[in-house]
Structure 1
Amino acid sequence: MDEKTISYDRIKQGGFLRQRQKEDLFSIRLRVVGGQLNADQLRTLADASEKYGRGEVHITSRQGLEVSYVSLEDAEDLLDELEEGGVRQGTCGPRVRGVVACQGNLICPRGLIDAQDIAKKIDENYFAMELPSKFKFAVTGCPASCMKPQENDLGVMGGLEPEWVEEQCSYCGLCQMACPADAIKVENGTLHYERDKCILCGQCQMICPKEAWVSSREGYTVYVGGKVGRNPRLGIRLVELVDENTLFRIIERSLEFFKKEATSGERFGDTIRRVGLEKFKAFVLE
């Protein structure tokens, strides 16, 4: 195959990573949303990795996949075969990267939101969007934070604010045992709930046999400005328990702010810190 048929954009922007070998070998990053692949996609990957690589597929730290040891002359054919099997090309550089997500409430007993659905919507709207620097999303179903939303440029966490229904309560103490934040105390026929300690995990509601704990409010908690790497920083909790429309409005405005205010190569959290948190909040939450 003529190497000139492969466009620079398809290589550089599409998840091609040069390997350290002297030959022109590449690892090709693939687009995976929330770590989900079906059986047909897995078969396609297995066949393609054997045909064009060394029969290996690497799982990245962000639920992505890479086929390694691919020669430049085979890259176009590999991508075409992967796309025919429903496996799409990834991205790299200053763009929105693949979205990571847990199983959410469709599978996990502790899940409070459909994390996979939110991840798919973020991917559909923003994947590979050009930005001043790379931008990473994470969606986690509950405050257990399995997907580490605080370590991403924008993290989404499911949450539930409980409300105690006194007349339903038998004061069995199960909610106190289940609460990971020590926000509930049951003793001598009384119950005390400290909202300031509550982490919105919903464990009290899930375990209560009498339905004495009900949902007062549910939604999405948003973290912004997190990152790992050489200079890690936890993200800032921006809002608590917003609805889906508000969530996506915040995402849209955050990306607008980043495009408007960031310098080239500057990460989102560094932009917020330099410009000022209050100015960012005013722009995003107006």
Structure 2
Amino acid sequence: MGEKTINYDRLKQGGFLHQKQHDEDLFSIRLRIVGGQLSAEQLRALADASEKYGKGEVHITARQGLEISYIPFEDADALLDELEERGVRQGTCGPRVRGIVACQGNRICPRGLIDSEDIAKKIDDKYFAMELPGKFKFGVTGCPSSCMKAQENDFGVMGGLEPEWVEDKCTYCKLCQTACPADAIRVEGKTLDYDREKCILCGQCRLICPKDAWAVSKEGYTIYVGGKVGRYPRFGVKLTELVDEDTLFRVIERSIEFFKKEATPGERFGDTIQRIGFEKFRTFVLE
């Protein structure tokens, strides 16, 4: 029998990255981590696998992923089987939906306005590793602080809150003015001016007010599209703001449909939008 032929393209689909040590045929194995969340048992599984099959090292990628390096090809199946038994699944590379990044959102962070982990998991469940013309990256961030850089992803989701001033509860203490990062609130004596055009929907006025003088007028998901980093970075464009969850997932579905229909092989989402035209894209996904 001849030597076993290795299909490296197929391995890459499953998150295998051929290392520079070609003479030893070693791989880094990328794993499927949703929103950077891992249980203690998953961490123990990773430690055990890296010591048993690799060099006892686990690399944290720039997108909250994990890679175990120095894995001989012949050990890959055994490693993946052991990890899967303990709740750690295989990742992906190439022209498909990559791992979903997310902050902890309102489960943990006082500034969080949405449940980022929940949205990331729903996106992952439906779209992870979907074959597309080019790589496609989702980022979910809990508020306009944008810790997860929603504007740098092909499709970015950001929590937002539009405040409403409740005049009869206000003591004009100016705490909201001090907390507002956009200079959208001005208090002079017994007069308060709120500039909706300046507001970035962060909800800091509501968070800091000791008298509940700021209520919620509207809240939801703000969507950015077409962002990317790499050799030719581009900032994503705001598509719409404060939509509900059903609308968010309809926009995701239509965006992917647009990308499949219009993109050329290897093209990024933002490049497709730019080539076809933002208004045509906007009409397709929203109207």
Q: TM-score, normalised by structure 1?
A: 0.97
Seen in structure 2, the aligned counterparts of structure 1 residues 3 and 49 have a Cα distance that, compared at 3 Å, is farther
Matches within 5 A, 1:133-152: 133-152=134-153
Q: Which residue of 2 aligns with 1:86?
A: 87
Does 2:14 correspond to 1:14? yes
Q: C-alpha displacement at 1:8, in angstroms? A: 5.8
Matches within 5 A, 1:1-286: 4=4, 11-21=11-21, 22-286=23-287
Deviations 1:155-194 (A, max 9, x none): 0000000000111110000000110000000112211111
- Percent identical: 78
Distance 2:81 2:71 in 1: 14
User: Structure 1 unaligned runs (5+)?
Assistant: none
Seen in structure 2, the aligned counterparts of structure 1 residues 7 and 39 have a Cα distance that, compared at 3 Å, is farther
SS at match of 1:68: strand
Q: What residue identity is the alignment partner of 2:264?
A: T
Q: Aligned pairs, how many?
A: 285
Distance 1:94 1:223 in 2: 20
Seen in structure 2, the aligned counterparts of structure 1 residues 139 and 3 have a Cα distance that, compared at 3 Å, is farther
Q: Confirm or deny: 8 A CA contact 1:6 1:76 kept in the other structure.
A: no
Seen in structure 2, the aligned counterparts of structure 1 residues 9 and 231 have a Cα distance that, compared at 3 Å, is closer
Seen in structure 2, the aligned counterparts of structure 1 residues 6 and 230 have a Cα distance that, compared at 3 Å, is closer
Distance 1:86 1:4 in 2: 29
Q: C-alpha displacement at 1:11, in angstroms? A: 1.2
RMSD, aligned CA: 1.4
Large movers: runs of 4+ above 6 Å: none
Distance 1:94 1:144 in 2: 29
Seen in structure 2, the aligned counterparts of structure 1 residues 3 and 254 have a Cα distance that, compared at 3 Å, is farther
Q: TM-score, normalised by structure 2?
A: 0.97
Q: What residue identity is the alignment partner of 1:11?
A: L
Distance 2:65 2:4 in 1: 28
Distance 2:186 2:3 in 1: 69
Distance 1:5 1:79 in 2: 20
Q: Confirm or deny: 8 A CA contact 1:221 1:239 kept in the other structure.
A: yes
User: Structure 2 unaligned runs (5+)?
Assistant: none
